[in-house]
Chains A and B, each alone.
Chain A
């Protein structure tokens, strides 16, 4: 009854483990490298002043505002449409031609490179609709770009809500609408928010699509009709045109911190809501 040495299994586990560690190490290395290079750049002036001399001097305040505005527009538009579509797909339709068309379109959209969205946004929003380079054009373009992600993650989250929740809700005399809003929605919310966070990350980090639609002007945007440069675009221009590597690292570090912050805040909000739901 000696235990057989399971060499094959051990080797595979070893490989998987190594792969995981490697991936984590690479990620950690990138983040640490950028933070080490970038954090010393961060200062009150860096956060609050407008870039001067193409970004060589001053801060990056207008690009922070631009990033937040463009992202906010994208999220405010994409989330209701995306989550609504997800609920429609998961709760209101039987599998059929229509659902397959919607799902196929969403999946195809998810695979398109962002520069294509940029081009589309440029032609459609900037030129055809005469919205010009603006926060609005950028936000709308990003909204279309993140829509598939939001639909897919939300639909998955809705489908993982146990069917017994729905059955129980109905058995207590709840209507379909109440069941969806008060039972299915709160239970799927963490998953939905996860998808939104992912999308916020993509918006904040997006370069090509916003550069073509929101433009790259360094002024502080005063309205949604103004052109604005986002942090990612700023970083790209600073680095690629060799304007200032220090400021570029500072911008990158702030981007990382921003995404981190959004994650934390969203998680806190979700937990609050989950604790309060009834």
Chain B
């Protein structure tokens, strides 16, 4: 446990005011959610409130269902044949699982950034404009505005403003990932899901993205999955620790403000995992 306190102090997290149990209001709520891939039971009884305008980190060993959980929030699992969800998730109090849900609208409100930069083989501009275009925005001036706004949000505008016609995939990986974040921001979501979005990046780019996350958290609700405990400590306000149980089903073991979890884990399994991971 000592190691962590050191890590925490080193990061100055202890002094960070945002650490006080944030989010008066829950942006997202899950209620006894179970997820099945065909007959495979992937998640059991997940109940948690995700605070608005804060960063919630999901941590846990490989294969415990972190990605599966994250993908529930924009119904990305809908695309997997045989995937089935029980229980309910609420976005601003409205259920998102049900026949009445407009999944397309949901995905406009809950954006996603993937593990590897996944720009399309087209120009920087067209990548940024893709989301807005799909929502029916055609006017060039408006698209230009959106492109500029979202590039500024990820601090890429000055670097890229003169090369918007350049294929996005020719940029360095770090910039590509920030561009992917900008692309997600271009549709003005309320929630941003990031699944190990720094794992393909070098430390310098990781730092940039982390700074970016903290800035975005003032305005957006952010959920990240990470294998990097330092990162969880550095950026997140809330931490969720997941693990598979005896039946190999993913469970939410502990969910608490990050500082609390990393300084006084309530569950022995949490403690074992995080001490093992900081070494």
Contact = CB atoms under 8 A, between A and B. Distances in A.
Given A182-B134, A183-B120, A173 B76 contact: no
Interface stretch (A40-48, A162-170, A209-217, A218-226): A162-170
A272 interface: no
Q: How large is the interface on B (under 10, 10 to 19, 20 to 34, 35 or more residues)?
A: 20 to 34
Nearest to A94: B81
Given A172-B184, A173-B134, A278 B107 contact: no
B81 A174 contact: no
A178 B126 CA distance: 15
B107 A164 contact: no
Interface string B180-193: 00011001000000
A278 B122 contact: yes
A94 B126 CA distance: 32
A4 interface: no
Contacts of A171: 74, 76, 107, 111-112, 114, 184
A168 B135 CA distance: 15
B118 A168 contact: yes
Q: How large is the interface on A (under 10, 10 to 19, 20 to 34, 35 or more residues)?
A: 10 to 19
Nearest to B116: A164
Contacts of B100: none
Contacts of B129: 278
24 contacts: A164-B118, A165-B120, A168-B114, A168-B118, A168-B120, A170-B76, A170-B79, A171-B76, A171-B184, A172-B107, A172-B111, A172-B130, A172-B134, A172-B184, A173-B104, A173-B107, A174-B104, A174-B131, A174-B134, A175-B104, A277-B122, A278-B122, A278-B129, A278-B130
Interface of B: 74, 76, 79, 81, 104-105, 107-108, 111-112, 114, 118, 120, 122, 126, 129-131, 133-135, 183-184, 187
